[in-house]
Structure 1
């Protein structure tokens, strides 16, 4: 998503972070180039050589205790030097009263000042998660996403191939829908992919010939998940006769720079696709635990052939 503004953070996290604007509300459109936050302890002592001026500045108990130890003249000087660095915004934690000097400087240098009742460390942790989410690379993908036994599975395929019908059968078996037809995906800081549904279509499915259904109303809240990590992509396609029959060399698909295992499943009349997708998810889970059935069988065959050559050599 790139660089965001303080207002982007406000719109996304004001409720979760219990934020209120104390001063400079008209300046919320200031850019926020970095997702990390900074506690300006050293800056308040006058040291700016390595000052992170592109980060949100957090004033907690330590900062206010230090400011109280200064004379009014020194306090004004240090705070002025801080605001002169063109900081994007200030957050005061623990619901502490904001000194009038900060409010005056915020108006002078056009810097928004916000306040939260949260403890400083808790605020920093939760705000970092929100900022990383806002700035993470995102993509919208055609496909239906399910969660099976903790494995996130993206079902792709041409319109009418049976993605939603397969997902509906899996829901009836006790698995959970994440999104139908269109899936939002973002890359986390850990190099994983997280998928979820858009706000408009969340919890709904389109079944051809039936129309739109509301999944939790029909199957209960256990039938839906708000988001899941993406572990496997399954392409549903018409048979070609060239499908992989061993799985020794799995295909990979790249999404947002992350490689995900990909399986192509031929769709035939009368074939229980939900059952095959279920087995594919379970097999992927076993692979993540270090148990690869195809590779183990291949190793056994090679070992048997090798021993046979030795006996006849």
Structure 2
């Protein structure tokens, strides 16, 4: 589903240093495509393959060419450009917007923005932002933490101790991303990114205590705006069937991405924060190519094989 120009303004207005020149009442125009378009060819009068569903970027080349045209030709080309129902225009390098563009933008109800950014830098950053806005997203139950650069999602039944475990980890110097409800987005690289809902961001609910504001109590280092998801940990009541070797790790599919998943039994007196910390460190070692469970399994098989040969 296409986003609107307002979505871009709300999410990236500050980051992209955008200011609205005209058309603030027309921000509901659809942005069907995430790519940008520089309308140099269209300004010459060639509109056969004009990308009219993209945001139009006016940089140094476009302005230089417009200045080379006569007044009548410039107005005629711009009139045809605006007649293509474009979603919006961005003027880079903080250039003054020509009167012709302002008048046509108001007549065709096209929003016009301006940014001090260099054209190529703006195109790159805006493309990334638009891909983020249009990427598939999902809301899942769980508390997300970042430990040593590893994004960990803690899941479990209500009251199992997710927030309490997360609080203990924060006290150890790790960072909270989201509590109880986590937003997840698939990246263009095939991974997953987690962040908190705007309303609940930086807050935690601790049973018996209520709502706390994490950065006020533990400082800004105790929070992260987002993190890549590397590991899912399910906190559950013990069943007696828990994995004791880790040789064949489980995975869980989230939005088509396979993520390593560990089930940890929660028992009275067990330091869950310590175990989650070790699980995150172990996952980091696995990503670096060091798998302790597999190495031990290989050693045992090697020892058994040698024993058979000697007694054969």
1:25 matched to 2:24? The reply is: yes
1:154 matched to 2:153? The reply is: yes
TM-score (normalizing by structure 1): 0.94
Which digits, 9 at most, give the CA deviation of each residue in 1:250-293, with x for residues without a partner? Answer: 11111222211100001111111111101100000000001111
The SS at the match of 1:242 is coil
Which digits, 9 at most, give the CA deviation of each residue in 1:139-165, with x for residues without a partner? Answer: 111111111111111100001111111
Distance 2:211 2:226 in 1: 21
| CA shift for structure 1 position 21 | 2.6
The SS at the match of 1:212 is strand
Aligned residues: 312
| CA shift for structure 1 position 132 | 2.0
Q: Which residue of 2 aligns with 1:45?
A: 44
Distance 1:91 1:170 in 2: 45
Q: Return structure 1 stretches of 4+ with deviation > 6 angstroms.
A: none
Correspondence list, 1:133-148, <5 A: 133-148=132-147
Correspondence list, 1:272-287, <5 A: 272-287=271-286
Distance 1:123 1:208 in 2: 46
TM-align CA RMSD? 1.7
The SS at the match of 1:261 is strand
Distance 2:209 2:86 in 1: 55
TM-score (normalizing by structure 2): 0.94
Q: Which residue of 2 aligns with 1:91?
A: 90
Distance 1:77 1:36 in 2: 26
Which digits, 9 at most, give the CA deviation of each residue in 1:97-134, with x for residues without a partner? Answer: 22222223223433222222222122222322321222
Q: Which residue of 1 aligns with 2:168?
A: 169
1:4 matched to 2:3? The reply is: yes
| CA shift for structure 1 position 214 | 2.2
The SS at the match of 1:178 is strand
Q: Which residue of 2 aligns with 1:237?
A: 236
| CA shift for structure 1 position 301 | 2.0
Correspondence list, 1:1-313, <5 A: 2-313=1-312
Distance 1:21 1:220 in 2: 35
Moved more, 231-240 or 74-83: 74-83
Moved more, 16-25 or 85-94: 16-25
Gaps of 5+ in 1: none
| CA shift for structure 1 position 55 | 0.7
Distance 2:309 2:302 in 1: 11
Distance 1:45 1:307 in 2: 79
Moved more, 113-122 or 89-98: 113-122
Gaps of 5+ in 2: none
The SS at the match of 1:58 is strand
Moved more, 301-310 or 237-246: 301-310
Moved more, 266-275 or 282-291: 266-275
Distance 1:291 1:18 in 2: 44
Which digits, 9 at most, give the CA deviation of each residue in 1:67-121, with x for residues without a partner? Answer: 1112223222322332232211111112212222222322343322222222212
Which digits, 9 at most, give the CA deviation of each residue in 1:202-233, with x for residues without a partner? Answer: 22222222222222222222222222111100
The SS at the match of 2:275 is helix
